[in-house]
A and B are shown apart, each in its own frame.
Chain A
Amino acid sequence: MPQIPIIMPQLGESIAEATIVNFSVQAGDTVEADQNVVEVETNKANLTVTSPCRGRVRQWLARVGESYPVGAVLGYLDATAEDAARVGLDTSGPAGAAAAADLNGKSEGGRPAQPPGVEPIVRGLPVPASAGGASYMSPRLKARMAELGLHAADLAGVAGSGAAGRVTVQDFERFVAGLETHRMTQASPMRVSVADAMRRSWTRPLASVGLPFCLDPILAHRKASHPKAAPTLYGLRALALALAENSAPAGRLVGQKIVHPKAIDIGWAVEVEDGVLVPVLRNADRFTLRELIPQYEALLEQARQRRLSPEATGGSIATVTNFGTFGLTWATPIPLPEQTLVLGMGAGRRVPHWSAEKHQFVPIMEANLTLSFDHRVLDGGAAGRLLTRVVHLLGHPERL
């Protein structure tokens, strides 16, 4: 009985591979021609693979959760010669090998199938061999930039005259010569370090969402507390609790894997002269707001004195920044390059709030809470749910 391969079909233009979601039929099951037998997921949609002809599933070679390129043999059907011939599948050659040459499982008009040629297996989209254009930097340009300690971002203001607008060495030298006419001062090591972090972070697609929330419960809680927690610490603790419930939004995307956080270590931004430092509260989900206060105050003081130990900074999974201290009500901060999330807190303002109970506007203190995130890892929905959860937690500061 001929063996007919079930092949990953061409699922659309520019789709080179697909991941197996599940098998609708198992080995031994009987299937009709064009029956859905495999559900697959592509980067665009979930689609189905159909059986090439009537038969009985002999075996599946593919595995659920694995990705296979277009043309890969996923499994085999046992079919009668008549059934195979009816849909134009040739079965004269060695089972599988010959038939697999027809990647789309379509008829070759009854001609014997050609033996498969050597075809590159495409993993992902092809990249043009000559990736030219404005982003191309020649070896000489790279060498000159390295010599002068410049980065690609420094060339943003240079209009290239080369092919497709690339910056040639002549463009670059003119740019550098033009700078010489300006007054120049040395950037501080802190400034250079922040610039480096921001530049690396900005290589990712970043997005921000925001939500106003009522500050009154926090203000009341602060008034009654001794010692008092800084507003930033409320935000930090609420974010820690929310991420303890679900840490996935704080994961990082590396290649095709999500790297999940090991601990809920959260940092916060402290402005220092000519830059920002980010001390970190370790395991912020395991201590109450009140318990966190002494460590928060100690680290804050160390940061302001520029005496943070290496252990007190780095390795955090998210950062809180209270841009409200600058009187700002809205901002779109940039997460640290090794992080996916940054929670921003705006300045409080007294605003009219419609009270459903009183049927009138009442004054409340309101502030904006923003969440900037790496859009590769999470989308507006997930970011919105996380932010909503943080706002909800901030509504009950006594539980923090």
Chain B
Amino acid sequence: MSVTYLEAIRAAQARALAEDPRVFIYGQDVGAFGGAFKATKNLAREFPGRVVDAPISEDAMVGLAVGAAIEGMRPIVEMQFADFSTAGFNQIVNQAATLFWRTEVPCPIVIRLPGGGTSGSGPFHSQSMESVYAHYPGLLVFTPATVEDAYSMLLEAVALDDPVIFCEHKLLYYHLKAERLPTEALPAGKARVTRPGRDLTIVAYSAMVHEALAAAAELQPEGWEIEVVDLRSVKPLDTDTVVASVARTGRLLCVGESWPWGGVTAEVLARVASEGFELLDAPPQRLNAKDTPIPFHPTLWAAHRPTARSIAAAARNLLRS
């Protein structure tokens, strides 16, 4: 018996619905159809009236969720693709993010964003939105990289009183598997040292954790011990774990699938440079998607996002500097 990343997300939602009558799911085709990626498969049947189809308006979806939260509900909003959340951007960053700070009424909503690249999906179905939402105070941004984290962090997101942007990675949906669902978990906001090392710290999150682990495995026969830190949530950002890792290794490479400009990797480098400058034995580096819209062509797409190979190449340069 094994469980996929997608099944873990479905299982977490089923448990949240079962355990808390205030929880409901709202999104396009989440009901009878089971969602664009089947993350809500059969939930409408299991929880009648609590898994509700929405009109094709992200603006309306989030607006309704904010209103329901004000009335004491704990909605989970599913975006079909993370890219489409921009159509509800105003409700997310101006209403949901600021609500508690304006009114002291909490806004316990979870917005699930299936994001990240899959081959051939092009500019409107591949984007990674975590850097954009992390910019806004009042929002929490979770980026689970493992089946276990997808399950436990989604449950935690539902339980939290703050609005959470829950970034799921589509590449992980079907292929990433675990033996069973977890019974215990690290709290969100704590990074995890996924692989201990000595020579270089690679900080990553979401699908890039797996690319970083593959790069670390590629570099091991060359004599390099690479430490991989999984941020798990990009906001809050666990600076302490990152700086502690750099203290061990002296070198930092931060990898993110979103664009470089003002993003998560820039924030990690800025924090390490300002809080741990004297720990660095080489200039901190980062690797992001190329600073262009995401290409359709599979060959271009493969060159556009960081991969194990490009991460290993960047790591070699950094290790030799």
A residues with a Cβ closer than 8 A to B are: 138-143, 162-163, 168-170
Contact = CB atoms under 8 A, between A and B. Distances in A.
Given A140-B281, A168-B281, 13 more contacts: A138-B280, A138-B281, A138-B282, A139-B280, A140-B278, A140-B279, A141-B281, A142-B278, A143-B279, A168-B250, A170-B199, A170-B250, A170-B281
Nearest to A167: B281
Contacts of A163: 320-321
Contacts of A141: 281
B131 to A, nearest CB: 27
Nearest to B320: A163
Contacts of B280: 138-140
Contacts of B320: 162-163
15 contacts: A138-B250, A138-B280, A138-B281, A139-B277, A139-B280, A139-B281, A140-B278, A140-B280, A140-B281, A141-B281, A142-B278, A143-B278, A162-B282, A163-B320, A170-B281
Contacts of A169: 250, 281
Nearest to B246: A140
Nearest to A140: B281
Contacts of A170: 199, 250, 281
A162 B279 contact: no
A169 B279 CA distance: 10
Interface in B263-321: 277-282, 320-321
B289 to A, nearest CB: 25
Contacts of B279: 139-140, 143
Nearest to B321: A163
A22 to B, nearest CB: 49
Interface residues of B, number: 10
For chain A, what secondary structure do more than half of its interface residues adopt (helix, strand, loop), or is it mixed?
helix
A118 to B, nearest CB: 25
Contacts of B199: 170
Nearest to B278: A143
Nearest to B198: A170
Contacts of B277: 139
A138 B281 CA distance: 5
A387 B123 CA distance: 79
Contacts of B278: 139-140, 142-143
Contact of B321 (A140, A143, A162): A162
B277, B320, B321, most chain A CB atoms within 10 A: B321
B279 to A, nearest CB: 6
Contacts of B282: 138, 162, 168
B195 to A, nearest CB: 19
A140 B279 CA distance: 5
Interface string B71-114: 00000000000000000000000000000000000000000000
Interface string B175-217: 0000000000000000000000001000000000000000000
Nearest to B199: A170
B199, B280, B281, B321, most chain A CB atoms within 10 A: B281
A140 B280 CA distance: 5
A139 to B, nearest CB: 5
Contacts of A139: 277-281
A168 to B, nearest CB: 6
A142 B278 CA distance: 8
Please provide the 4 A-B residue pairs with the shortest distance between their CB atoms, ordered closest to farther.
A143-B278, A169-B281, A140-B281, A138-B281
A94 B321 CA distance: 52
A174 to B, nearest CB: 13
A142 B146 CA distance: 39
A168 B278 CA distance: 13
A139, A163, A170, most chain B CB atoms within 10 A: A139
Contacts of B250: 138, 140, 168-170
A168 B321 CA distance: 9
A30 B282 CA distance: 61
Contacts of A138: 250, 280-282
A19 to B, nearest CB: 38
B43 to A, nearest CB: 52
B81 to A, nearest CB: 41
A170 B282 CA distance: 12
A169 B251 CA distance: 10
B250 to A, nearest CB: 5
A48 B320 CA distance: 49
Contacts of A143: 278-279
Contacts of B321: 162-163
Contacts of A168: 250, 281-282
Interface string B229-254: 00000000000000000000010000
A11 to B, nearest CB: 37
Contacts of B281: 138-141, 168-170
A170 B251 CA distance: 11
A24 B277 CA distance: 56
A138 B279 CA distance: 9
Nearest to B277: A139
Nearest to A138: B281
B199, B282, B320, most chain A CB atoms within 10 A: B282
A140, A141, A168, A169, most chain B CB atoms within 10 A: A140
A169 B277 CA distance: 14
B277 to A, nearest CB: 5
A205 to B, nearest CB: 31
